[in-house]
Chains A and B, each alone.
Chain A
């Protein structure tokens, strides 16, 4: 994994993310959000967590992004130009970024290079999921079911 690749992908990602945060048109924002997530997935690939990257693409591009665009369509009447971003928020964000970066750069213990490790195969993840993470897995399944039902109930046409 070379810094060049990382930096390139990172720049793309952050640019897309910035676009998502600032673009006026909601649809464009959503699409660039998707691009940003693809970039994050790329970073995951570089970090050797292929599976997570694939899952990220799969879930976010395949599901969340589509959900968002559907929502945009369903609430279309409201999707117009917005007034410009308020600078307070921007300032705060920048401040947080600065603080975090300062903290990160100041901490020496994180200035390490990656050790050489065996790539994490899907098999290992699957075993982990089925053995030591089986309860969390069940809980997530439950949560997803609940979310599904909850979402359905929320968007159901209430009959007066």
Chain B
């Protein structure tokens, strides 16, 4: 079975694609069949991914490559390929699993939306593209899937295109990521130019293998940076992160699937996949490109965490936390902990999906209200949501020992601590941990504790079809930690391709206590700050945020996302405006004048030649015509119009000819 799947890897992305096509062809009313189809397709993908996953378990460092020629130009062919190695396999599992949960969830969440069918078509399309992305063995194929994923995200963010905000957000996301992808594409071309192949692994001469890498040489740094641009775009790293919060305009399941669990992780995955290029020629694990990755990650993590504190929209908070977590992963990749980064990516996939779905459930319960200050006291109203959400929150903030997030964070701290270049990222990460705990606490308090407020008056628990996935994801989030513990670092070794061993001693580590302290501090701070935030008298939104009372300037700064959007508006967008205006002006006033000038010259010439015609040529022509007419009259006198005359003339001519010959003879 696995053998067969490996030989037909293309089926894994193909099935969801096909499903999405089928669904698109359905009439608009067929909700049930659409949902059934989509879920079935996802299950099929899950099963196949599982069978593709199995062989990677048996042999550590397993790698299966299947290349084929796309087309041939001139004498050399452009080849694409499929790839299964631990990295791809775990991604497959994660995507299909989370995806399945979210599909099921959205059957409940989107019920009653009139574009239900279209939604599921897009969703399947997305999952197909994403699966293709992770198992592609060629940078080009990866790029194609990458763009398809971008398209899917665009379609889904703008799913409610009725809302102008949604449309704007979709456009913003598309354009912003496109900026990154431009860099990515340039890097791709450059890479192709240098190494002559885009296959990652090609039996020794792929671009990630000795032969290909040696061909890169010094340009590796730039190529790596260009590729990282793409990663920044997708994973919302610092300069290009602005689209991700706005992407929350899309339906919540979309935010969960695309903008938390899978797509935004694609950037991290890309860096992990192309890691050999980044780390080419590293002096004890440090290269300029990795340096950039680290710092970008650090900045992103810190900034996002800070902004998250001051947001009021439940989904935006989660979005910013996603950004900061992604920054975290980037840092870990940069400092050389690829395994750690991927572990966190997977764990994050689970619990962030969980959190988003929880948020979705909350919003659903509060009839579409998203402002946490209008909620509150949902603790008893939606217990399942609350408990699962709490688990997710604790996992996110990295409570050690029981929750997967904790282990991965500790792993990251561990690798960061041993980064030779600088200690600064490590400390910033520590701060980040505290901040994470802080804003999650704030959110929990606002949403679930305290008294009910406007939105939560008539709140109710969501239907089973929505709570089931929550529970499933919560269980995943907890159980997942088993394979993460240092005692049995199975996943780590699985990713690095070494056999895992069990040592309970390693279970207790200094970082454990450290993170305990930090997370505790974060919780404590949060509870202390927002202790009064929950209890307000009813019917009124919570008045000003405690932080705002304390540090209004800082709060404003954070609430407005550090004015980064405004900054862009003032600088980049303004600049493009200016240039557009300028070229418009040029067109109107300069080029037009020029053209008119040429026209004038033409006119002048025309007048001149016309004069010549009148005086010179026409006279001659007239004379000729007069002559001709005279001649014509002369000749036409002979034309009596009597056919028979002509005939007889011909006959006479013939006779004359005859006589002439007779006279000759």
A and B are interacting partners: yes
Which A residues form the contact surface with B (CB < 8 A)? 88-89, 92-93, 95-96, 99-100, 102-103, 106
Assuming A96-B655, A103-B662, what are 7 further A-B pairs, CB within 8 angstroms? Answer: A89-B648, A92-B655, A95-B651, A99-B658, A102-B662, A103-B658, A106-B665
* B659: Cβ under 8 A from any A Cβ: yes
Which B residues form the contact surface with A (CB < 8 A)? 644, 648, 651-652, 654-655, 658-659, 661-662, 665
Complex: how many Å from CA A57 to CA B665? 40
CB pair A96 B654 closer than 8 Å = yes
Quote the shortest CB–CB distance from B192 to chain A (angstroms). 57
Chain A minimum-CB-distance residue to B644:
A89
Complex: how many Å from CA A103 to CA B665? 11
Quote the shortest CB–CB distance from A119 to chain B (angstroms). 35
Give 15 CB contacts A-B under 8 Å. Answer: A89-B644, A89-B648, A92-B648, A92-B651, A95-B651, A95-B655, A96-B651, A96-B655, A99-B654, A99-B655, A99-B658, A100-B658, A102-B662, A103-B658, A103-B661
Complex: how many Å from CA A89 to CA B650? 12
CB pair B659 A99 closer than 8 Å = yes
Complex: how many Å from CA A103 to CA B658? 8
Complex: how many Å from CA A13 to CA B351? 114
Inter-chain contacts of B665 with A (CB < 8 A): 106
Inter-chain contacts of A103 with B (CB < 8 A): 658, 661-662
**Which 3 A-B pairs rank lowest in CB-CB distance, beginning with the nearest?**
A99-B658, A92-B651, A99-B655
Inter-chain contacts of A88 with B (CB < 8 A): 648
Complex: how many Å from CA A88 to CA B647? 12
Inter-chain contacts of A106 with B (CB < 8 A): 665
Inter-chain contacts of B661 with A (CB < 8 A): 103
Inter-chain contacts of B659 with A (CB < 8 A): 99
CB pair B652 A92 closer than 8 Å = yes
Inter-chain contacts of B654 with A (CB < 8 A): 96, 99
Quote the shortest CB–CB distance from A66 to chain B (angstroms). 25
Complex: how many Å from CA A89 to CA B649? 11
Chain A minimum-CB-distance residue to B656:
A99
Quote the shortest CB–CB distance from B642 to chain A (angstroms). 11
Inter-chain contacts of B644 with A (CB < 8 A): 89
Quote the shortest CB–CB distance from A85 to chain B (angstroms). 11
Complex: how many Å from CA A84 to CA B652? 22
Complex: how many Å from CA A36 to CA B665? 35
Inter-chain contacts of A96 with B (CB < 8 A): 651, 654-655
Chain B minimum-CB-distance residue to A103:
B658
Complex: how many Å from CA A92 to CA B649? 10
Chain B minimum-CB-distance residue to A102:
B662
Complex: how many Å from CA A95 to CA B644? 16
Chain A minimum-CB-distance residue to B654:
A96
Complex: how many Å from CA A93 to CA B654? 11
Complex: how many Å from CA A16 to CA B651? 23
Chain A minimum-CB-distance residue to B665:
A106
Complex: how many Å from CA A106 to CA B663? 13
Quote the shortest CB–CB distance from A104 to chain B (angstroms). 11
Complex: how many Å from CA A48 to CA B368? 105
Quote the shortest CB–CB distance from B477 to chain A (angstroms). 85
Chain A minimum-CB-distance residue to B648:
A92
Complex: how many Å from CA A106 to CA B665? 10
Complex: how many Å from CA A100 to CA B665? 15
Complex: how many Å from CA A100 to CA B662? 11
Inter-chain contacts of B651 with A (CB < 8 A): 92-93, 95-96
Complex: how many Å from CA A100 to CA B644? 21
Inter-chain contacts of A102 with B (CB < 8 A): 662
Quote the shortest CB–CB distance from A138 to chain B (angstroms). 31
Complex: how many Å from CA A26 to CA B661? 38
Inter-chain contacts of A92 with B (CB < 8 A): 648, 651-652, 655
Quote the shortest CB–CB distance from A110 to chain B (angstroms). 15
Quote the shortest CB–CB distance from B356 to chain A (angstroms). 77
Inter-chain contacts of A93 with B (CB < 8 A): 651
Inter-chain contacts of B662 with A (CB < 8 A): 102-103
Inter-chain contacts of B652 with A (CB < 8 A): 92
Inter-chain contacts of B648 with A (CB < 8 A): 88-89, 92
Inter-chain contacts of B658 with A (CB < 8 A): 99-100, 103
Complex: how many Å from CA A96 to CA B665? 18
Inter-chain contacts of A100 with B (CB < 8 A): 658
Complex: how many Å from CA A103 to CA B657? 12
Chain B minimum-CB-distance residue to A107:
B665
Inter-chain contacts of B655 with A (CB < 8 A): 92, 95-96, 99
Complex: how many Å from CA A40 to CA B651? 23
Inter-chain contacts of A89 with B (CB < 8 A): 644, 648
Complex: how many Å from CA A93 to CA B655? 10
Quote the shortest CB–CB distance from B75 to chain A (angstroms). 47
Complex: how many Å from CA A103 to CA B654? 12
Quote the shortest CB–CB distance from B650 to chain A (angstroms). 10
Inter-chain contacts of A99 with B (CB < 8 A): 654-655, 658-659
Complex: how many Å from CA A89 to CA B654? 14
Complex: how many Å from CA A99 to CA B656? 10
Chain B minimum-CB-distance residue to A95:
B655
